[in-house]
Amino acid sequence: MKNIDWSGYKWISRELWGEFHPQKPYCYYDPEAINYDEEGNLVLETNVNPKKFKDPITKEFIEIPIGVGLISSKDKFGYGYFEIEAKLPKGKNLWPAFWMSPFESWPPEIDVFEGYTKDKNNYFHFNWKNPLGFWRVETNFHYGETPNNYNLGAKTHWLGFKDPTKHFNKFGCLWTPHVIKIYYNNVLVRKLTDKKLLSEYHGKTMCVKINAHVDKNVDKKYHQTSKYIIKNFKHLKL
C-alpha cells in the first residue's frame, strides 16, 4: 500500500479492508498500477503483474495475475457534490468505476458509474429499451444489510455520442439528506428520493473510490495494459 496526495486530498492504494477481494481472486489492488501522465492526470492501470497473497479463508498462498489501480479516500466526506472528469480505459473485460460507500458500513453504496467493456474494446451496447443509453456506463444504488443486501438495478443513461475512451466526460453526484442525484456532463440522469432508502445514508461519512478493474473473463495471461485517466476530483460541501 502507498499513500497518495492528489487533487487536494489524501488517498490509499487499496480498499480499506484489504489488497484483494476474496471472491474475485483474479486481480488485486496494485500500487504500481497508479501513475500520472505528462499532463499530470491520474492514471489507473490494469496490468499483468502476478503477485502471491495468503488466502484469508484457506490460509494457503495463491497467485493473483493482474494488478489494478484503485484509490480510496482517507478523507471522510459529508453531504455535498462529488465529481470527476475522466477518460475510460480501452480493452476487453474492463470494469472502471467511480463510487462511494461509508466508512461505517457496507452497504449502502452509490455507484456514480460502473463501466463494462465485456468482450469488446469499447463500451458501446445498443439497448432497444433504452436507445439513448447506448454506452454501457451504469448507475446503481446498494442498500440493506449484509448478507441480505440489494440494489436498485443498474441503468445506462445519455452520455453523448463521443466514444468515452477517446474523450473526457464529467461524472457527478449530489448527496443530500433529501435526495441523491447523479449527473453525466452536468445533465441529471438519475435520482433517489425514497425516504426509507435515503435514511440508510444519514449520519454516514463517505469514502470515495475511483478504480480500474477487470471482470472474471479477463485474459489472465495476455491481458493488454489499459489506462483509466482522471483529470481531477472535486467535492463541494453543502
Q: CATH number, domain at 76?
A: 2.60.120.200
Please tell me the total count of domains within the chain.
Answer: 1
C-alpha cell at 232: 481531477
Answer whether 64's CB lies under 8 Å from 22's CB: no
Q: What is the pLDDT of residue 173?
A: 98
For the chain, what percent of residues have pLDDT higher than 90?
Answer: 91
Rounded to two decimals, the pTM is 0.97
Q: What is the pLDDT of residue 214?
A: 98
Amino acid at position 104, single letter? E
Give residue 150's domain range. Answer: 3-237
What are 8-45's pLDDT values in tens digits?
999 999 999 999 998 899 999 999 999 999 999 999 99
What are 77-92's pLDDT values in tens digits?
999 999 999 999 999 9
pLDDT band at 147 (very low <50, low <70, confident <90, very high): confident
Kindly state the average pLDDT of the residues 51-61.
88
pLDDT band at 148 (very low <50, low <70, confident <90, very high): confident
What are 86-121's pLDDT values in tens digits?
999 999 999 999 999 999 999 999 999 999 999 999
Q: What is the pLDDT of residue 168?
A: 98
Kindly state the average pLDDT of the residues 60-68.
96
Mean pLDDT of the chain: 96
Answer whether 25's CB lies under 8 Å from 62's CB: yes
Q: What is the pLDDT of residue 59?
A: 84
For the chain, what percent of residues have pLDDT higher than 70?
Answer: 100
- How far is 71 from 52, CA to CA, in rounded Å? 21
| Rounded-to-10 torsion of CA 152, 155, 159, 165 | 100
Kindly state the average pLDDT of the residues 139-155.
92
pLDDT band at 123 (very low <50, low <70, confident <90, very high): very high
What are 43-55's pLDDT values in tens digits?
999 999 999 998 8
Range among 57-66, 146-155, 201-210 rated most confident: 201-210
- How much helix, strand and coil, in percent to the nearest 5, is found in the chain? 5, 50, 45
Q: What is the pLDDT of residue 56?
A: 81
- How far is 188 from 122, CA to CA, in rounded Å? 24
